């Protein structure tokens, strides 16, 4: 489908003038801005399909996020489009680079019928509509009536009237129009709803941001006999799913001095008073002796520590008013917690770039990267940071495995054959059994 160029909009979403690209004072022409965004995505470290990149060149994002303004809408950034009563985001327009990666994971092609769970602004549905073309079909579902009305209006204004937008709980999919060639979930999932697997054609593919011990991974899944196996995995961070298939992670808040809003992995309990006292106390640092190339390797190490640290819980930072440890620019960020329900044993440790600590531990390199450190808090902080430092050395010894090398297998209910051996991390969810590992480490006892 070819979109039509809409009237320009101001930050309130009201039309300003006809279709001229010169209508927005001081702003780049939308067409040129779209071309620049597509160029940035082409230079992304991960090669992306040309059909997806061309779709980003065609779809006018500024119409879908009018509150951002035309000049900023084509930055490669995620934008919050709605917050709940507690002030936390309930919907966002995803970062275009992450959108492109997920669409590449989806292997979307002309003529495909695709179901999207989590409409948001409608921008992703429009991009997919360009990729599948006139012979394809895009159906998108959101649980929020306000977002559904907004997306319908934006899709209509940009000429994507053929996209079907439904207001429903996306956890139940779309049984009336199923099956689909592809299903994509754009909200953070803790479980895999049976409908998403059941409503795919035999050769179909599901892509979703899945929480694995509190870390979200965008995973592509395809059928492999009685189970489903991952085709790819990427670190990501999405607003968590609402509705019948929402996860058990409750939002928790700590007042000063941390002013921290967080969730615990898999709904694990935490002694909030003990955590508050730990964060207010003296910190201890353990240097990460393993050289890291940059933030991408830091994320891989963070994943390794979380996946292999059995018995620890993960705290995910949702908001840090006032810049707790100056981590506010780096969501989703997290810490590992030991003894979360025992005040006199609680230990917390975060892995962070050294230059983001309140007192940088090492000078910046010429490229701006200063290395990393483990910062511990609480009575158990010193022992926990020492343990994680040892695990960091093991990570380097086995080849620095990261998200892209991880293998995920999913068993639907009742499928108990060929269950994973003991070297897999196995997680039981209400709807499925998840198992994760790095294949090259099978049998080595490292993860």
Question: Which is nearest to 251 in space by CA: 63, 26, 90?
Answer: 90
Which residue among 93, 121, 211, 268 is the active-site one? 93
- Secondary structure of 175-193 as H, E, C letters: CCCCCEEEEEECCEECCCC
Active site residue 403: no
pLDDT of residue 25 exceeding 90, the answer is no
Residue 375 tokens read as 């910062």
The model's pLDDT over 284-323, given as tens digits with 9 standing for 90+, comes to 988 888 888 888 888 899 999 999 987 899 998 887 665 4
**Distances from the Cα of 157 to the Cα of 59, 160, 253, angstroms:** 11, 8, 40
Residue in the structure block whose two tokens are 């049976």: 194
pLDDT of residue 27 exceeding 60, the answer is no
258 pLDDT band, cuts 50/70/90, is low
Residue in the structure block whose two tokens are 């509150």: 67
Answer yes or no: are the C-beta atoms of 410 and 432 closer than 8 Å. Answer: yes
Three-state SS at 277: helix
Question: Which is nearest to 376 in space by CA: 255, 257, 287?
Answer: 287
Answer yes or no: are the C-beta atoms of 313 and 346 closer than 8 Å. Answer: no
| Cα 413 to chain centroid, rounded | 26
Question: Which is nearest to 354 in space by CA: 373, 374, 334?
Answer: 373
372 torsion bin: left (phi>0), alpha (psi -120 to 50), beta (else): beta
The model's pLDDT over 259-268, given as tens digits with 9 standing for 90+, comes to 678 899 999 9
| CA atoms of 187 and 141, how far apart (whole Å) | 11
Pairing of the two strands 372-377 and 347-353: antiparallel
Answer yes or no: are the C-beta atoms of 148 and 166 closer than 8 Å. Answer: yes
Quick check: pTM over 0.85? yes
| CA atoms of 358 and 321, how far apart (whole Å) | 16
Q: What is the pLDDT of residue 330?
A: 41
Answer yes or no: are the C-beta atoms of 127 and 55 closer than 8 Å. Answer: yes
Question: Which is nearest to 32 in space by CA: 52, 9, 57, 51?
Answer: 57
Question: Which is nearest to 279 in space by CA: 262, 250, 263, 259?
Answer: 259
Residue 380: phi and psi, rounded to 5, are -90, 5
Which element (helix H / strand E) includes 313? strand 313-319
The model's pLDDT over 164-176, given as tens digits with 9 standing for 90+, comes to 999 999 999 999 9
Question: Which is nearest to 387 in space by CA: 310, 281, 447?
Answer: 310
pLDDT of residue 38 exceeding 60, the answer is yes
Residue 331 tokens read as 């969501």
Q: What share of the chain is helix, strand, coil (3-state, %, to 5)?
A: 30, 30, 45
Q: What is the pLDDT of residue 368?
A: 45
The model's pLDDT over 74-90, given as tens digits with 9 standing for 90+, comes to 999 999 999 998 888 89
| CA atoms of 223 and 221, how far apart (whole Å) | 7
| Cα 396 to chain centroid, rounded | 25
Q: What is the pLDDT of residue 320?
A: 66
The model's pLDDT over 343-379, given as tens digits with 9 standing for 90+, comes to 899 999 988 877 655 444 444 333 445 578 898 999 9
| CA atoms of 94 and 129, how far apart (whole Å) | 17
Answer yes or no: are the C-beta atoms of 212 and 314 closer than 8 Å. Answer: no
The model's pLDDT over 88-142, given as tens digits with 9 standing for 90+, comes to 889 999 999 999 999 999 999 999 999 999 999 999 999 999 999 999 999 999 9
Taking only Cα atoms into account, the Rg of the chain, rounded to an integer number of angstroms, comes to 22
| Interacting residues of 2 by C-beta distance below 8 A, sequence separation 6+ | 58, 130, 159
pLDDT of residue 7 exceeding 80, the answer is no
Average pLDDT score over the chain: 84
């Amino acid at each position: 489908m070819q979109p039509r160029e809409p009237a320009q909009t101001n930050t309130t979403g009201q039309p300003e003038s006809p279709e001229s690209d010169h209508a927005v004072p001081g702003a780049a022409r939308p067409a040129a801005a779209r071309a620049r965004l597509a160029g940035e995505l082409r230079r992304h470290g991960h090669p992306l399909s040309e059909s997806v990149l061309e779709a980003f060149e065609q779809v006018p994002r500024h119409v879908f996020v009018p509150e951002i303004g035309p000049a900023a809408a084509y930055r490669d950034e995620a934008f919050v489009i709605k917050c709940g009563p507690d002030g936390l985001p309930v919907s966002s327009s995803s970062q275009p680079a992450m959108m492109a990666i997920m669409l590449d994971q989806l292997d979307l092609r002309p003529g495909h019928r695709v179901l999207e769970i989590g409409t948001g602004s409608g921008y992703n549905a429009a991009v997919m509509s360009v990729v599948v073309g006139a012979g394809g079909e895009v159906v998108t579902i959101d649980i929020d009536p306000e977002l559904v009305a907004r997306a319908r209006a934006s899709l209509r204004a940009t000429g994507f009237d053929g996209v079907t937008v439904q207001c429903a709980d996306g956890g139940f999919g779309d049984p009336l129009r199923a099956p689909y060639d592809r299903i994509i979930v754009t909200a953070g999932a803790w479980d895999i709803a049976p409908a998403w697997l059941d409503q795919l054609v035999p050769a179909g593919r599901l892509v979703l941001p899945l929480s694995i011990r509190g870390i979200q991974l965008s995973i592509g899944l395809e059928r492999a006999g009685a189970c489903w196996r991952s085709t790819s995995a990427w670190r990501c961070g999405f607003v968590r799913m609402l509705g019948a298939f929402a996860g058990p992670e409750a939002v928790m808040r700590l007042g000063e001095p941390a002013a921290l809003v967080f969730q615990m992995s898999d709904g694990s309990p935490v002694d909030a008073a003990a955590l508050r006292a730990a964060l207010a106390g003296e910190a201890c640092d353990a240097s990460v002796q393993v050289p890291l190339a940059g933030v991408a390797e830091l994320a891989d190490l963070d994943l390794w520590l979380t996946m292999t640290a059995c018995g620890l819980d993960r705290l995910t930072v949702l908001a840090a008013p006032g810049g707790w440890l100056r981590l506010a620019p780096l969501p989703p960020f997290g810490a590992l917690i030991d003894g979360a329900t025992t005040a006199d044993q609680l230990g917390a440790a975060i892995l962070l770039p050294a230059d983001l600590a309140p007192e940088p531990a090492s000078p910046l390199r010429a490229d701006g990267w200063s290395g990393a450190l483990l910062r511990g808090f609480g009575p158990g902080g010193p022992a926990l940071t020492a343990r994680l430092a040892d695990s960091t050395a093991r990570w380097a010894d086995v080849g620095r495995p990261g998200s892209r090398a991880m293998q995920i297998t999913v068993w639907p209910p009742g499928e108990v054959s060929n269950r994973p051996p003991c070297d897999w991390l196995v997680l039981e969810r209400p709807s499925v059994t998840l198992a994760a590992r790095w294949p090259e480490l099978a049998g080595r006892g490292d993860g």
